[in-house]
């Protein structure tokens, strides 16, 4: 992974993350229940969905996700609403919504035309929010073709912009370079003007 900051390129070290089947960490317990079925609308198309509620409980917080699933339509999970709170549920730490906005969009990836879906991820946290727009395909490693993220503070000021782009991928290392990502990171520091001093009498 290559990170670009202020025009400079940096190589980022790979990270190893161990998770359970439902995405839970080693210090979390997972529980899942099925809710009544529902339907969502994408581009005017009503899609029936199985609805699951996933709860991940850790030492200090709890994450509850409502998942809208259709096993016939890629990327299968068509909407996810997640709320992270303290263990009592009284303090909201993070609220995230992932919604697929377009289906069956052809896209050229590494010289091939693949079928993709578009999604928007909105994350609201105490210091502001971030919005990520993603192009996904089940035919590439990790499922992400490209994405852009815009992060704002509570006043709506831009704090950071970043982009991630898949530039190559392959199943056979001897015939292709393997799948690579190119990441761009743009930072903007938000300054506040000092308060003018009161004139001396």
- Percent of the chain past pLDDT 90, that is, above it, reads 54
Would you say residue 14 has pLDDT above 90?
no
Find where tokens 């995405």 sit. 23
Token digits of residue 119: 């999604």
CB 165 within 8 A of CB 141: no
Helix (H, G, I), strand (E, B) or coil at 87: coil
Token digits of residue 156: 């709506």
Is 45 within the bounds of a domain? yes
Is 58 within the bounds of a domain? yes
Is 192 within the bounds of a domain? no
Is 181 within the bounds of a domain? no
pLDDT recorded at residue 170: 64
Is 201 within the bounds of a domain? no
Could you tell me how far CA 123 lies from the centroid of its own chain?
8
Is 156 within the bounds of a domain? yes
What are the Cα distances from residue 126, in Å, to 60, 63, 73, 122?
A: 17, 16, 34, 14
Is 121 within the bounds of a domain? yes
CB count in 10 Å sphere of residue 140: 19
CB 53 within 8 A of CB 33: yes
pLDDT recorded at residue 5: 64
Token digits of residue 200: 């001396």
Mean pLDDT of 118-132: 95
Token digits of residue 118: 């578009």
143: region left, alpha or beta (phi > 0 left; psi from -120 to 50 alpha): left
The pLDDT mean for the chain works out to 82
Domain count of the fold of the chain: 1
Distance CA 3, CA 184 (A): 6
Would you say residue 128 has pLDDT above 60?
yes
Q: Which domain holds residue 114?
A: 25-165
Token digits of residue 31: 């529980």
Is 49 within the bounds of a domain? yes
Would you say residue 190 has pLDDT above 60?
no
């Amino acid at each position: 992974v290559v990170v670009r900051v202020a025009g400079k390129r940096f190589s980022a070290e790979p990270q190893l993350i161990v998770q359970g089947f439902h995405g839970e960490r080693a210090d979390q317990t997972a529980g899942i229940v099925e809710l009544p079925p529902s339907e969502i609308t994408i581009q005017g198309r009503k899609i029936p969905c199985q609805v699951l509620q996933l709860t991940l409980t850790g030492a200090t917080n709890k994450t509850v996700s409502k998942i809208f699933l259709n096993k016939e339509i890629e990327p299968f999970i068509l909407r996810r609403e997640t709320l992270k709170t303290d263990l009592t549920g009284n303090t909201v730490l993070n609220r995230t919504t992932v919604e697929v906005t377009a289906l069956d969009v052809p896209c050229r990836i590494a010289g091939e035309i693949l079928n993709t879906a578009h999604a928007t991820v909105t994350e609201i946290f105490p210091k502001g929010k971030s919005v990520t727009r993603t192009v996904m395909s089940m035919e590439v490693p990790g499922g992400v073709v490209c994405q852009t993220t815009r992060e704002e503070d509570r006043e709506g000021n831009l704090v950071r912009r970043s982009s991630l782009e898949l530039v190559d991928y392959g199943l056979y290392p001897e015939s292709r370079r393997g799948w690579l990502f190119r990441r761009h990171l743009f930072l903007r520091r938000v300054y506040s003007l000092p308060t003018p001093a009161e004139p001396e009498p």
